[in-house]
Structure 1
Amino acid sequence: MTVYFVQAFIYLVAAVIAVPLAKRLGLGSVLGYLVAGVVIGPLMGLVGQEANTIQHFAEFGVVMMLFLVGMELDPKALWAMRVRLVGLGGLQVVLTAAAGTGVGIWLGLQWQTALAVGLIFALSSTAIVLQTLNEKGLGRTEGGRSAFSVLLFQDIAVIPMLALIPLLALPELMDGTGTSADHESGLSLVASLPGWAHGLVVVAAIAAVVVGGHYLSRPLFRYVVQSGLREVFTATALMLIIGIAALMSLVSLSPALGAFLAGVVLANSEFRHELEANIEPFKGLLLGLFFITVGASINFDVLSAQWGTVVSLAVAVIVVKAAILLVLALVFRVRGSNGWLFTLGLAQAGEFGFVLLTYSVQNNVIPVETSQVLSLVVALSMFLTPLLFIAYDRVVLPRYRRSKNDDREADTIDEQAPVIVAGVGRFGQIICRLLRANSIPIVALDHEIEQIENLRQINIKSFFGDASRSDLLETAGIEQARLLVVAIDDRDRSVQMVEHVKQFFPGVWVLARAFDRGHGYRLREAGADDVVSETYHSALELGGHALTAMGVHPMRARQMTWAFLDNEKAHEDELFDAWKEIEEGISFSPRYGELFMKLEEALSSAMQRDWDEPKQEDVPVWRPPEPSGD
């Protein structure tokens, strides 16, 4: 028992150290887990052969992930993506498998082995790609949705692949009796059934998941919820997923596919959010454990002996898959940076490759020696995937942002107005609409063409160009303007812009949008006449609603927010002067900390002050919210 505790401790320590460090360096959590596995496995030898056993257990994290992904969809959404699911996903699997088979035959493999290798490398890593897309917030982009469609089709395609591989068995790899080499066989409901019966059992299993998930899950969860015990609900959620995975395995289907199907069925359930909250921690831990075991299972002896072959094949897999994916992206009109996200995100081999590789060895399709090299190739391609996402972030995205905006010349500004609005994103657009509604002429400038087109659709005069350029400001009439609103989405450029305008056009009143208190101080120091934090007033408004929700009268909550504003303004100059000391090189200003504490004490005193109760005729009838019956 002690051995298991020590091994569990080693895995957890590796994750706790490596993953935050990788995130801090901008490498992503997946690469952190992989590096942790390499360090505690091949490099330090702290974990050994048990990594392969743990990997089978950790693959359950992939099952949980697909269950959660399924709950984010509903059947209508699944039907809506049918073209990309079948067309894009189907072509990717077929073309990549064909390319892999061709390369395998060219390298001297028998066509059966080459076909199995092609099928293995046709699959990408669902775990790594979806985890990374979610971390980076790219799941809802066109490239992210296209990648998800392909991954989903790949997971479905695993089923016919598992059925095909035994038919490719090579006689020379069989034992003397002409049968497959003995290997441990698991429980199966279809092992000895004829083909037609096998098909009926598979259909019945899928029907059981769909019907049971739709009609039986709700009464079950209602019964469990009535107990009032959260841990029982968690146990029920785990029981549901494990049961579905076991059922799918018993009929030789992919557990991940069954879990995904169950998730889709439960997508509209009233218990969906509670299920997600209970399963998410288990999914994250098991996925992390899976990635660690991938890193720990790398055989450095084989790698050192055949490193040239392994590295060459891994690079070839990524290059060939990327070329096919890039062509498909063009055919299906996944253009620009989304096309590269789709291409680079799916260019690796996947975790199901290990499953198919093991299955191929067991069924005498791939020799053991070849499988060891191929296993390293799969692992290395997965290991390189986070680097491909980093390349997308740091090389592809900046390039497309520049090509989309910087390559286009600024518009010719043929109109001037007393108000110039620099930056018309989510913040500047509201200002423009308010001014236009009051018939105040404005000229809007922005270097994002999409924002300009949005304003033109609602008949607001706007021009494409970098508002921080002095020549564009002069063309827009800054010399005669009464007001300049600085709402650009760049801290440094906004400060430089304010400094320039106040130096050369001091008569222009400058209103500036600040990201936070420090940025607001910089804008004020640059000469801005009025500075407003983009989150300050909305947070204050929401805080007032929070007071009301806790039983404070709406009028008193409003008075408290006014008191908060007055208190901040009363100490604003003192805090600004203390902040300037820090900016001038003082590493720590005790005065700033003391003033901030003084501000908090004054705020607490203001909140405790007696307030005049509002008269009935002055405010609408209001009653505090009643507590919930829970």
Structure 2
Amino acid sequence: MAITLLINVLIFLAAAVLIVPLFKRIGLGEVLGYLAAGVVIGPSALALVPDADAVLQFSQVGIVFLLFVIGLELKPSRLKLMHRAIFRFGSLQVAITTLGLSAAAWGLGLPPVSALVVGFSLGLCSTPLVLQLLGERHELQTRHGRNAFSLLLFQDLAAIPVLAAIPILAAGSLLSNGVTPLLTEMAIAFGAFAGLIIGGRLLLRPLFRFAAGTESREVFSGTVLLVVIGAALLMELAGLSMALGAFIAGVLLADSEFRHNIEADIEPFRGLLLGLFFMAVGMTAQIGLLADMPLIIIGLTAALLLTKGLSLLAASRLYGTGWKEATTLAILLSQGGEFAFVLLTAAGSAALLDRELVNLLVLVVSLSMATTPLLYLLHVRGIRPLFHDKRKKPSFDQPVDDSPQIIIAGFGRFGQIMGRALQGLKIPYTVLDINAEQVEFVRRYGNKVYYGDASRIDLLEAAGADKARVMVVAVGDTEASMRIVSQVQREFPNLRLYARARNRYHAHLLMRAGVEHLVRELLPASLELTREVLIELGVSRDQAQHTIDTFRPHDEQALRRQLEVFGNEKKQIQTVQEAARELEALYEADEDIDTSLTPLSRPPQG
């Protein structure tokens, strides 16, 4: 048994290592590579791993981890802002797509109820496929990326009552069987949903504080896995989506101090299991049916892609999106999804659909998923550039390698001050900034600034990062800053990193990443103003400066001590309180510092 398992693992790894890089090299992307690898090793080709259904069931865990990570990145405040897109746009798209596909299924001879189930099932899209495609192109935070995610989230929510209603629909009608079974299922689902949210708010942070307090990375990683799998299992037992449970758990932890640690621990599992899911989809595709009836299957696949594309185009335009975004969504979401496997199989088991029809539709969905990466690639390269938006720059600038000694990422208030000082010394530097309006504004004053994402390796190479001596990360956004640091450390290890930290938390993240040279942006100005306030209160200028000079090294030491207990809120609070007491004792012991001054003291007049 153990040998068989190891052999299967070896086969999966070998297929992924050999085939996926090949597809990436020719520009077809990772997803299509995983699907092709699954077809090669599956029952339809070499049959190296015969039990494709068991692999597919296990690989659903990959979707669970993907949705958990997405939840971590989606703070509740941001989710609240997206509610209009989720429910209005989502319901509009599902209604139009379901009606169009159901009408087509009815026209092909299916009974009304069966046609409705087929139409809804085929109308759902593939969450992991779409999010992977968007992630590969760094488009998750674009407008079409956010709208695509909103549609996918609503589809997952909408699939829940349909899945619960299939057994009732199969029995005849709601009137003959009563609505009690459906209401019971919905009550259980609502109870599990509410229980997860309430319990998560009360228990998750204390649980992770306890795990962090053990100072064991293994315990912390185990806690992450416990939460993800536990939330997914709770939803599954309640008849809901496992992925939905993991997503909710991620959202509940999005504002916590443990978010970055959790994301780092979960990433290896997410990547491996998501790749396994796509390979399992490729394995389950019954390619033999394609050989038996090629024209029918290819025709149905093309009809599915066309019908969904047109319905998405109509829904997007009715919602108010522009043609560019509407066509992007129409191509991106034109495929069937993994939920179709679940719903169609359930409908087959309930005798709503013939087994032969279920197998046929599953193959059509698999083929539609396989064609989406290629169609989206053609769209990005050939169709989307035709929509020229005059209000926005169509693409990043291409920096010119002038052999700069310094590259500055971010040219806001912080970066501009450094730039003026370097310019006065005639030291060459190159600036990359992601804000197009800021770039245009700064250029008016004669500064050489390029519009570009400093985390993009190709732009850094074009800017001369392989020859520069110093990279200054002056980006205000914490996540963007850490992304740039990670890319530079991996691709340009000889480039010395200097970074701006927005606050103490950002400073800790940079220090944990190995950045030795950093400045907290508010610290120098705060200390300078504190010195002037002390002088106004009657402290001599020399004594005020000595007070600040004493505070600065003490605060740096406290910052490093707090880094040792990062993520453990209880110990963080204890360390802060200890540092405050130490500073008081340090001031009292210093003969050159007068601690007798109180807020009621009056400065000398005249």
Structure-1 residue corresponding to 2:211: 224
Residue 6 of structure 1: aligned partner: 7
Q: 1:11, 1:620 → 2: CA distance?
A: 60
Residue 587 of structure 1: aligned partner = none
Partner residue in 2 for 1:99:
100
> 1:200-238 deviations in whole A, cap 9, x for unaligned?
433322222111111112222222222222122222221
- 1:542 counterpart SS class: strand
- Pairing partner for 2:381 from 379, 394, 403: 394
Equivalent residue number for residue 399 of structure 2 = none
Q: Does the CA-based 8 Å contact 2:165-2:182 persist in structure 1? A: no
Question: Is 1:131 matched with 2:137?
Answer: no
What letter is aligned with 1:207?
A
Match of 1:282 in 2: 269
Number of residue pairs aligned between Structure 1 and Structure 2: 462
- Separation of aligned partners in 2, 1:551 and 1:77: 30
Q: Deviations along 1:162-201, whole A, 9 cap, x unmatched? A: 1222233278xxxxxxx9xxxxxxxxxxxx9855544443
Asked if 1:516 is matched to 2:503, the reply is no
2:333 equivalent among 346, 353, 359:
346
SS of the aligned residue for 1:623 comes to helix
1:263 aligns with: 250
Q: Which residue identity does 2:147 align to in structure 1? A: S
For residue 331 of structure 1, report the CA deviation from its aligned partner: 2.3
Report the Cα offset of residue 399 of structure 1. Answer: 2.3
AA at the equivalent of 2:34: Y
Aligned to 2:401: none
Residue 41 of structure 1 is matched in structure 2 by 42
* Paired amino acid for 2:463: F
2:69: which partner in 1? 68
Going from structure 1 to structure 2, the CA distance change for 1:219 and 1:109 (only over 3 Å counts) comes to same
Task: Map 1:541-620 to 2 at 5 A.
Answer: 542=498
Q: 1:107 to 1:426 in 2, by over 3 A?
A: same
1:372 corresponding residue in structure 2: 359
Q: In structure 1, list runs of 5 or more residues that go unmatched.
A: 172-178, 180-191, 408-424, 439-449, 463-483, 491-512, 521-531, 555-615
Which whole-Å CA distance do the structure 2 matches of 1:198 and 1:452 have between them? 52
Instruction: Choose the corresponding residue for 1:319, options 272, 295, 306.
Output: 306
Q: How far apart are residue 25 of structure 1 and its match? A: 2.2
For 2:110 and 2:516, the matched residues in 1 are separated by 77
Query: Could you give the per-residue CA deviations for residues 26-84 of structure 1, whole angstroms, max 9, x where no partner exists?
Result: 22111110111112125642434411111011011112211221222233322221211
Partners of 1:133 and 1:452 in 2: how far apart?
A: 24
Give the structure 1 partner of residue 52 of structure 2. Answer: 51
Shift of 1:273: 2.0
Query: Per the alignment, do residues 535 and 26 of structure 1 end up closer, same or farther by CA in structure 2, a change over 3 Å counting?
Result: farther
TM-score (norm 2): 0.68
Match of 1:337 in 2: 324
The percent identity for this pair of structures is: 37
Q: Report the Cα offset of residue 358 of structure 1.
A: 0.8
2:579 corresponding residue in structure 1 = none
In structure 1, the residue matched to 2:194 is 207
Please give the residue correspondences for 1:245-256 in structure 2 after superposition, counting only pairs within 5 Å. Answer: 245-256=232-243
Aligned to 1:243: 230
> Take 2:416 and 2:70, find their aligned partners in 1: how far apart are those partners?
39
CA distance in 1, matches of 2:238, 2:154: 20
Q: Is the Cα contact below 8 Å between 2:15 and 2:41 reproduced in 1?
A: yes
CA shift in 2, pair 1:87/1:537, >3 Å: closer
| 1:120–1:356 contact (8 Å) kept in structure 2 | yes
Match in the other structure for 1:18: 19
Question: 2:144 maps to what in 1?
Answer: 143
Q: How does 1:414-493 map to 2 (within 5 A)?
A: 455=440
Q: C-alpha displacement at 1:515, in angstroms?
A: 1.5
> 2:83 matched to which residue of 1?
82
Secondary structure of the equivalent of 1:314? helix
Whichever of the two has the greater Rg, that structure is 1
Is residue 515–residue 534 contact of structure 1 (8 Å, CA) maintained in 2? Answer: no
Alignment of 1:356 onto 2:286 = no
Shift of 1:20: 2.1
Rounded to whole Å, the distance in 2 between the matches of 1:514 and 1:54 is 43
Q: Is the 8 A contact 2:499 2:517 kept in 1?
A: no
In structure 2, the partner of 1:309 is 296
C-alpha contact (below 8 Å) 1:170/1:365 kept by paired residues: no
Deviation (angstroms), 1:302? 1.1
Q: Against the structure 1 CA distance between its residues 226 and 80, is the aligned structure 2 distance closer, same or farther, given a 3 Å change threshold?
A: same
For the residues of structure 2 that align with 1:292 and 1:229, how far apart are their CA atoms? Answer: 34
In structure 2, do the counterparts of structure 1 residues 110 and 156 end up closer, same or farther at CA, with 3 Å as the change threshold?
same
Q: 1:404 to 1:390 in 2, by over 3 A?
A: farther
Asked if the contact 1:514/1:533 (under 8 Å) is kept, the reply is no
AA aligned to 1:141 is T
Q: 8 Å contact 1:60–1:286 — kept in the other structure?
A: yes
Q: Which moved more, 1:77-86 or 1:334-343?
A: 334-343
User: How many Å apart are 1:432 and its aligned residue?
Assistant: 13
Aligned residues of 1:313 and 1:377 also touching (Cα < 8 A): yes
Which residue pairs with 1:623 in the alignment? 553
Query: How far apart, CA to CA, are the structure 2 residues paired with 1:106 and 1:316?
Result: 13
Instruction: Report the equivalent of 1:525.
Output: none
Q: Amino acid of the residue matched to residue 237 of structure 1?
A: V
* Counterpart AA for 1:515: A
Instruction: Report the CA distance between 1:23 and its aligned residue.
Output: 2.1
CA-atom RMSD, angstroms? 4.0
Secondary structure of 1:366 counterpart? coil
Q: Provide closer, same or farther for how the CA distance between residues 324 and 200 of structure 1 changes in structure 2, counting only shifts above 3 A.
A: closer
Q: Find the aligned partners of 1:74 and 1:543 in 2 and give their Cα distance.
A: 25
